Amino acid sequence: MNYIISLIVGALTSIMIYFNGSLSDGYGNLVSTVLIHLVGLIAILLIMVLTHSKMKLPKGLPLYLYSAGFVGIGTVMLTNISYIKLGVSLPLALGLLGQTIFSLLTDHFGFLGMKVVKINPKKLIGLGIIGIGICIMAFQ
């Protein structure tokens, strides 16, 4: 089930890049980023109302975890910039490559308090295959 959910996330990300990039092309990057996040806020508030969810802020969480919103804004803005020149598939592929590299380093060195999971040759082979695929996509 989690594999299917992850595939759906990938499809939704492709759609998101297209919608966000098109809004950015029409409104400019800053205004479109505000609109995107405003619509997202309204949507999640509506979902919370419909599901009778309550927002509880647990005590003791490090403050830096709340900076995830800044990361989201940066992701949207930078993807919007690259979408205009690269389309949907290449920014998505490059973004996934960046995520893979950073997650491998995070696991390997135990960044952000993660359990250390060393990089092994199979992971490097997979990373190389991804890199080759992106090069084929980028240099047509």
3-state secondary structure 17-51: HHHHHHHHHHHCHHHHHHHHHHHHHHHHHHHHHHC
CA dihedral 11, 13, 15, 16 (to 10 degrees): 160
Computed over its alpha carbons, how large is the radius of gyration of the chain? 18
Per-residue pLDDT tens digits for 94-140:
999 999 999 999 999 999 889 999 999 999 999 999 999 999 999 87
Chain centroid offset of residue 50 CA: 26
* Boundary-marking domain end, from 71, 87, 103: 87
- The dihedrals phi and psi of 119, each to the nearest 5 degrees, come to -70, 135
Task: Please report the pLDDT score of residue 113 as a whole number.
Answer: 87
What's the number of domains the chain is made of? 2
What is the pTM assigned to this prediction? 0.80
Last residue of a domain, one of 87, 105, 123: 87
Q: Are 80 and 32 in contact (CB under 8 A)?
A: yes
Domain that holds residue 34: 1-87
Q: Are residues 54 and 101 in the same domain?
A: no
